[in-house]
Structure 1
Amino acid sequence: MTSPKTATLRGGLIQMALKADTDNDPEVIRQAMIEAHIPLIEQAGEAGVQVLCFQEVFTQPYFCPSQDEKWYASAEPIPNGPTTKLMQTYAAKYKMVIVVPIYERDDVTGIYYNTAAVIDADGSYLGKYRKTHIPQVAGFWEKFFFKPGKSNWPMFQTQYCKLGVYICYDRHFPEGWRALALNGAEYIVNPSATVAGLSEYLWKLEQPASAAANGCWIGAINRVGREQPWDIGEFYGQSYFVNPRGQIEKEASRDQDELIIHDMDMGMVKDVRNKWQFFRDRRPDTYDVLTRSE
């Protein structure tokens, strides 16, 4: 059930505040965010991190409090855009899997997605996950910017682990966690941009519950600071690793740029799943109501 590649998986999560004013061109902001991330990427690589993940749309502000077409210019193609290509070089240099959450432009259709590219430890592009659930509420006008993805819950067989990706608002929907686990994921990352308020309570409730329900590790990433001119609240950091029993084992600060590193005992995945047998005891034949559209 667990990958034979490693019994212990060294994960890294990077949380960060915005590094350029939002009145700048999106390319200027991208360059500033990349420049700020590189020392932490190198630190992760030198520390032997095997799977590294950044926050949601990590090269840009969380621009969804606006409905400004300016931000369309921040989208990039995947895998042939500059950010994905650059991260492929760092993945290969450090033999490190990197999950790269960016704003994606599909050049075939001209449609935009909230996406995470997955790069293997040899620098090869494994594929992408597109955010499935898109909110449209005050301060989070995401449907203006993102089309809902339909990625079919991919499990990425990396050199070190069976990896899944869920993005921010997705975490409120238990069905996707389950689908990722059923497709084989043993470690799932959730890059996010979430502000203080009701969500801060949910931040340490939903993902530990999902880890326990699915017998998997989860790495949760949130940005930090306040972003002007919107100032919808404080991005409260507190990125963390939670084990398959739902226990948070390592947590970042609330308000600092930070790389956190943690060694995950991947043997816990098999142990927990064998003990609880939630997958065996599922009753999908009784769940028709879950797929009704009305």
Structure 2
Amino acid sequence: MNTIRVGLVQQRCTNDRQENIDKSIAGIREAKAQGARLVVLQELHFGPYFCQTEDTACFDLAELIPGPSTEVFGSLARELGLVIVTSLFERRAPGLYHNTAVVLEADGSIAGRYRKMHIPDDPCYYEKFYFTPGDLGFTPIATSVGCLGVLICWDQWYPEAARLMAMAGAEMLIYPTAIGFDPADAPEEQARQREAWVTIQRSHAIANGIPVLSVNRVGFEADPSGVGSGAQFWGNSFAAGCQGELLAVAGNDQEQVLMVELDRQRSEDVRRIWPYLRDRRIDAYTDLVRRYRD
């Protein structure tokens, strides 16, 4: 099939883990009812974004793979006959944790996983306290709906990550995300941040000639410590085509199951007229492996 329907589940999260899981499941079922063969869930959709503070008790949220989440969503994938990209806090070993996306095949099996490579450490985004940088590299995951280049949130700002996924054969880039702005920021700054987020990801689609799917959480989440002003997650989940064109965009303040139809032939067509991979000067890029060129 040259076309594939995809569902992106944008949701609010509460402190009730089961409520959040039920909401994700309802979104998947809604997407399936609209013809989806692939459904993508947002980053860490099982609960609030706990990285606003550094709290060792939050490590209790982590789980093994295979484990409870892969069992629940694997069973759902098998029941509905679709591919699901889910996100969880992976417990690899005592003291060793990852921010991990798991791809579940339509038969319920685990097709593969991706561990977040770029780990931020900013006010209200204290991820280095919780997550070890990924060690699986930028390796696409083969599924019945294509080769998926799964990355996570902060990874979406790095063109190197997108390029390496594309070079390894990814047919689309997928970004489960949890990003928002500080409610204390001026509206103009909030708008600039959101526009930058959209623009950088559209540029990955253009530079690599493959579609981008980005699904973000939505709603306000207070800082549990009471120190910060919390995070206003801006939603705006979207799909961009191979030339960066916006194919579908969700709202900024509501839960939504965003549907998009991807033309799988379009990457081939676009790359024939914009052959960026052909014209790359790989002989001149050695300095890219340096932190900075002094």
- Structure-1-length-normalised TM-score: 0.91
Counterpart of 1:83 (choices 57, 62, 69) is 69
Distance 2:14 2:230 in 1: 17
* 1:46 positional shift: 2.3
**Aligned counterpart, 2:201:** 207
The SS at the match of 1:146 is coil
Q: What do the CA deviations read for 1:2-40 (whole angstroms, capped 9, x no partner)?
A: xxxx200111100111133xxxxxxxx321211222221
Give the AA of the match of 1:143: K
Instruction: Please say if residues 195 and 232 of structure 1, whose CA atoms lie closer than 8 Å, have aligned partners that are also in contact.
Output: no
Distance 1:261 1:118 in 2: 19
* 1:126 positional shift: 1.1
**Aligned counterpart, 1:40:** 27
**Aligned counterpart, 2:289:** 291
Residue 5 of structure 2 is aligned to residue 10 of structure 1: yes
Show structure 2 runs of 5+ residues with no match: 182-189
Q: Which runs of 4+ in 1 moved over 4 A?
A: none
**Matched ranges for 1:254-293 at <5 A:** 254-293=252-291
Distance 1:96 1:110 in 2: 34
**Matched ranges for 1:155-194 at <5 A:** 155-194=140-179
**Which deviates more, 46-55 or 227-236?**
227-236
* 1:141 positional shift: 0.9
Instruction: Please say if residues 117 and 137 of structure 2, whose CA atoms lie closer than 8 Å, have aligned partners that are also in contact.
Output: no
Give the AA of the match of 1:205: T
Distance 2:47 2:89 in 1: 8
The SS at the match of 2:90 is strand
**Aligned counterpart, 2:184:** none
Residue 134 of structure 2 is aligned to residue 149 of structure 1: yes
**Aligned counterpart, 1:26:** none
Q: What do the CA deviations read for 1:62-85 (whole angstroms, capped 9, x no partner)?
A: 11110011110111111x210111
Q: Label 1:122 to 1:224 Cα distance change in 2 as closer, same or farther (>3 A).
A: same
Distance 1:56 1:115 in 2: 9
RMSD: 1.3
Show structure 1 runs of 5+ residues with no match: 1-5, 21-28
Instruction: Please say if residues 53 and 126 of structure 2, whose CA atoms lie closer than 8 Å, have aligned partners that are also in contact.
Output: yes
* 1:260 positional shift: 0.8
**Which deviates more, 196-205 or 184-193?**
196-205
Instruction: Please say if residues 163 and 185 of structure 1, whose CA atoms lie closer than 8 Å, have aligned partners that are also in contact.
Output: yes
Q: What do the CA deviations read for 1:38-97 (whole angstroms, capped 9, x no partner)?
A: 22111122222111111111112111110011110111111x210111111111111111
> Percent same amino acid among aligned pairs?
36
Distance 2:285 2:193 in 1: 28
**Aligned counterpart, 1:24:** none
Counterpart of 1:119 (choices 101, 104, 108) is 104
Count of residues in Structure 1 that have an aligned counterpart in Structure 2: 279
Instruction: Please say if residues 13 and 260 of structure 1, whose CA atoms lie closer than 8 Å, have aligned partners that are also in contact.
Output: yes
